[in-house]
Each structure stands twice: as structure tokens, then as C-alpha cells.
């Protein structure tokens, strides 16, 4: 699905394959929004894993239902059918108005002769920024009467067959409200359109104008979902369990977590990885490789793990013991820590493998200030894998995540801090990001 790098991308996000259609209007000098660190911060996530409508209210037409097929890498989807009238659904729970920039995304599958749309809404029936699929084209506009065709529906990408992933950034530029649209890739802009009414958004709208359509992986957030940087977006990844940072944390200088790897199987090295991230103010509020510090392990062939860290000035991993790693048994138990030491102006990365009594540690010079954000990731690299994602398996968890505040206190993360936004692992995988169902998300699909 959902949130981008060049190989070796084990520490990196997801690199999609080029879409088949040309990306019209592609430019690299457009103004880009930043993730807002102001008072308006929110994230609405709807992936229908709960088998409920998850905040969507039927406004017109037949009531949509959550279905197991077509699935999105094992995830369920929302089936919307237009019969005599268009099917319209509205959501505003947790969506706050007044943000200076808003991003939204969805994975959409349409059947022949169907038209499907999703976007920001100024009322329960009125779009103010909309994207969709109609007549074999990806379209975008301020409303359904002002749509522009951006490119043909792409095929042969890294996304599940039949699905199109559309990500949009809506923001104010030079006095005007505009929307940038990315289709199945984040290194090329599909197009930009004017959306003057977007400032009045107060919710999100789905409208199936004709035929049958399916929707999932829906996110509406004040956090920026993509940036026009070739192959990069620190908030997204196919097969990755990432999350949206929805508020700034108090300044902290230590991030710790426990990782348990009950079992895993990989037919290829350096394709599947599990990790934590600590970001300074730049890394938290902008999609950038700078100020973005990662620590994790590649889950390699023959029960091996390869620990690595990313030093915050690029997105390339530095391996403690090489890319092939070392053998580690099932039920591997790791202690992870990323610590900023102001007195010595350095960041210390540490992985302690309690199963084998080995410690891997490295330090880098650093004087960029404390951290303000964190999230966890599970990443699969379709760009470089010679095997389908279903040939990889994982059962594991990241638990007991805590931050050490600059004042000396230790604090566990609140349940509301990090919302899942990338949940597209195969149903055979089972991974957990927090300690329990109240404060976490467990990837166990019933489909």
C-alpha cells in the first residue's frame, strides 16, 4: 500500500516500480508542504481490519459493506455499489478543520464502467478536493464537475494487482490552495490542480458514481504523506507496518524498545526488516532523510539477522557486522536503544541480542538537538526482491517502547500517539507494535 529509497533499502522505505502510464505535468520545482507542528494535528485511518465501517456514515445509496474479496494483500476492503443513485459515505470523526495542509490517500479498485472518488469534503455531499478513477483514467479536481485526467490507470506496479494507490497533498502555495497527486509511486508527481475551497474541509467523502468500487488503506491527516523526492517517503511502505506521527512528543534524548522475533523465514537477504525510529524536529516535521535515525535488523536467510542503523544524514543503512548478519535462534530477544548524549555531542545506537549474549554498538557525531517524534516500521523491498512477499513470513513484536525525557523522566508512549497507516502484510504474518490490544495493533488477518 500505503508511505520510499535506493537499494540496499533494508533500512529504507518502499521503492515502487514505474507506472505504465506517463505522469503528466511532472515537475520537481513545485513548492512542498511540511508536516504541521502547530495546534491542528490529526490522523484518521481506515483500513477495515475491524470488519466495521470504521467511522464512515452512509449518506446516499445502498449501505456499503466490508468484504474479504477483493483483498489488498490480505486486507479487507469497503465495497461500494452505485445502483439507481450514487453511493456516498462521509466521515469526520477525528478529522479537525483548520490545518494549513492536509494529506489524504486511498487504495481503490474499480470494476469495468465504474467511477470511484475520494477526497476532502466541505459537507456530507460536497467535495472540496477530490481524486478518483473514471473511464480508465486517474482524475483529480476541486469537485466532480472540475475533474482533470492525470494519467491512465497504471499496471504492473509493486501494488497488488487491480489496485491503484493515490496520495494527495493539499496546501496553500502563493496564496492559492493546491493539490498535488501521486499515483502508485512517490518519485514522480502525476499532477497538480487548484482546489480553492479546500480550506473549508471538515471531513472526508467517498462517492461511487457508477458500478462497483472497492476502497481501503484510507488516511486523512495533517501529517504529510509524501514528498517529491525520488524514491523516498519516511511515512509509507508496502508490506510495512508504519504509522503516522500525529503530535509532537516532549523533547527526549533516549528511545528504547524490546523486539521479539518468534520466527521468520526469508528466501533472500536484506529484503525484510523490522525497526524503530527517532527523529529530531526536522525529521519529525518534514519528510526528509535528515534528522531521521533508525535502528533495526534485516531478517535474512537461514535464521540470520543483520543489525544496522541509519545515521540521520542519509537514508542508507550502516551494518554493524555486514549485510549477511549472524545466526540467531527463534524467540530472539533484542534490546534496542537510540540515545542522544549532549555532553559528548553524539548519538549512540545499540542492539543487545539477549538470545546470544552479543552487543552491537556504534556512535556518530551529532549536535542537532533532542528528538520529538518516533514510530516503528516493518519493511519489505519489492524493488529488490526476486521473490513475492508471500514467500516471506514473520511472527514478532516491538514492545515496551519508552522515551527518556531531557529532564530525566522515562515515559511510555500513549495509545493515541502513533496510528497505524501501513498494514499490508500477508495474512500469515503476525506482528505487534505495542504491548496489548488497547495500545497497539496486531497484524492478524482473518481473510
What is the distance between the alpha carbons of residues 47 and 239, in angstroms, rounded to a whole number?
A: 14
Q: What's the pLDDT at 434?
A: 53
Are 380 and 393 in contact by the 8 Å Cβ rule? The answer is no
Rounded (10°) CA dihedral 9, 166, 93, 432: -30
CA-based angle 186:189:190, to the nearest 5? 110
What is the distance between the alpha carbons of residues 235 and 264, in angstroms, rounded to a whole number?
A: 24
Q: What's the pLDDT at 127?
A: 98
Would the pLDDT of 113 be above 50? Answer: yes
Taking residues 428-447, report their average pLDDT.
48
| Average pLDDT over the chain, rounded to an integer | 80
Grid cell locating 201: 474541509
pLDDT digits (tens, 9 = 90+) for 89-111: 999 988 999 998 998 989 999 98
243-432 fold = Jelly Rolls (2.60.120)
In 6-75, alpha helices (H): none
Q: What's the pLDDT at 186?
A: 67
In 248-324, alpha helices (H): 281-285
Name which residue leads in pLDDT, 12 or 253.
Answer: 253
Round the CA-based radius of gyration of the chain to a whole number and report it.
21
pLDDT digits (tens, 9 = 90+) for 147-165: 999 999 988 776 778 999 8
Q: Are strands 203-221 and 43-46 parallel, antiparallel or unpaired?
A: antiparallel
Q: What's the pLDDT at 288?
A: 67
What is the distance between the alpha carbons of residues 255 and 374, in angstroms, rounded to a whole number?
A: 8
pLDDT digits (tens, 9 = 90+) for 55-75: 999 999 999 999 999 988 777
Closest CA to 417 of 435, 439, 386: 439
CATH number of 43-221: 2.60.120.560
Give the confidence band of 122 by pLDDT, cuts at 50, 70, 90: very high
Which residues does 269 contact at the CB level (< 8 Å), separation at least 6? 298, 300, 301, 304, 306, 323, 324, 325
In the three-class reduction of DSSP (H, G, I as helix; E, B as strand; rest coil), residue 12 is classed as coil
Q: What's the pLDDT at 355?
A: 87
H helix and E strand count, the chain: 1, 29
Would the pLDDT of 414 be above 70? Answer: no
pLDDT digits (tens, 9 = 90+) for 361-403: 999 999 999 998 887 777 877 778 898 888 898 888 888 889 9
Q: Where are the chain's structural domains?
A: 43-221, 243-432
Looking at the DSSP bridge assignments, the partners of residue 252 are 371, 405
CA-based angle 411:416:418, to the nearest 5? 85
pTM of the complete model: 0.66
Would the pLDDT of 416 be above 80? Answer: no
What is the distance between the alpha carbons of residues 228 and 246, in angstroms, rounded to a whole number?
A: 21
Looking at the DSSP bridge assignments, the partners of residue 336 are 257, 351
Would the pLDDT of 190 be above 60? Answer: yes
Are 140 and 123 in contact by the 8 Å Cβ rule? The answer is no
Taking residues 346-373, report their average pLDDT.
94
pLDDT digits (tens, 9 = 90+) for 223-236: 777 665 443 333 33
Amino acid at each position: 500500500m500505503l508511505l520510499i529509497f535506493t537499494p540496499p533499502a533494508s533500512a529504507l522505505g518502499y521503492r515502487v516500480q514505474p507506472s505504465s502510464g506517463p505522469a503528466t505535468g511532472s515537475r520537481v520545482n513545485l513548492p512542498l508542504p511540511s508536516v504541521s507542528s502547530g495546534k491542528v494535528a490529526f490522523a484518521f485511518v481506515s483500513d477495515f481490519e475491524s470488519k466495521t465501517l470504521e467511522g464512515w456514515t452512509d449518506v446516499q445509496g445502498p449501505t456499503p459493506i466490508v468484504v474479504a474479496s477483493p483483498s489488498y494483500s490480505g486486507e479487507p476492503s469497503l465495497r461500494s455499489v452505485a445502483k439507481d443513485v450514487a453511493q456516498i459515505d462521509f466521515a469526520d470523526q477525528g478529522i479537525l478543520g483548520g490545518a494549513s495542509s492536509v494529506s489524504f490517500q486511498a487504495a481503490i479498485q474499480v470494476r469495468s464502467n465504474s467511477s470511484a472518488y475520494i477526497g476532502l469534503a466541505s459537507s456530507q455531499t460536497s467535495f472540496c478536493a477530490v481524486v478518483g478513477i473514471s473511464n480508465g483514467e486517474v482524475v483529480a479536481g476541486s469537485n466532480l464537475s472540475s475533474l482533470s485526467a492525470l494519467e491512465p490507470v497504471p499496471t504492473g506496479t509493486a501494488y497488488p494487482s487491480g489496485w491503484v494507490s493515490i496520495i494527495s497533498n493539499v496546501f496553500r502555495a502563493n496564496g492559492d490552495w493546491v493539490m498535488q497527486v501521486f499515483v502508485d509511486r512517490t518519485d514522480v508527481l502525476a499532477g497538480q490542480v487548484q482546489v480553492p475551497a479546500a480550506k473549508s474541509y471538515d471531513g472526508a467523502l467517498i462517492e461511487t458514481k457508477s458500478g462497483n468500487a472497492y476502497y481501503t488503506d484510507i488516511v486523512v491527516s495533517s501529517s504529510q504523506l509524501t514528498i517529491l523526492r525520488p524514491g523516498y517517503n519516511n511515512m509509507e511502505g508496502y508490506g510495512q507496518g508504519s504509522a503516522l506521527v500525529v503530535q509532537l512528543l516532549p523533547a527526549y534524548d533516549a528511545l528504547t524498545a524490546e523486539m521479539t522475533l518468534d520466527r521468520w523465514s526469508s528466501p533472500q537477504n536484506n529484503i525484510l526488516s523490522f525497526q524503530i525510529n527517532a527523529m529530531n524536529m526536522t525529521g519529525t516535521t518534514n519528510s526528509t532523510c535528515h534528522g531521521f535515525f533508525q535502528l533495526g535488523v534485516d531478517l535474512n536467510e537461514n535464521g540470520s539477522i543483520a543489525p544496522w542503523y541509519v545515521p540521520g544524514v542519509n537514508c542508507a543503512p550502516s551494518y554493524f557486522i555486514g549485510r549477511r548478519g549472524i545466526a540467531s535462534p527463534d524467540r530472539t530477544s533484542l534490546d534496542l536503544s537510540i540515545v542522544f548524549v549532549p555532553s559528548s555531542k553524539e548519538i549512540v545506537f545499540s542492539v543487545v541480542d539477549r538470545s546470544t549474549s552479543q552487543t552491537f554498538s556504534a556512535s556518530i557525531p551529532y549536535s542537532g538537538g533532542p528528538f520529538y517524534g518516533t514510530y516503528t516500521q516493518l519493511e519489505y523491498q519489492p524493488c529488490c526482491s526476486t521473490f513475492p512477499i508471500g514467500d516471506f513470513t514473520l511472527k514478532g513484536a516491538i514492545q515496551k517502547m519508552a522515551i527518556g525525557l531531557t529532564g530525566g523522566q522515562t515515559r511510555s508512549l500513549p495509545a493515541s500517539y502513533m496510528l497505524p497507516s501501513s498494514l499490508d502484510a500477508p495474512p500469515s504474518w503476525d506482528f505487534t507494535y505495542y504491548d496489548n490490544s488497547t495500545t497497539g495493533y496486531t497484524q492478524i488477518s482473518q481473510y
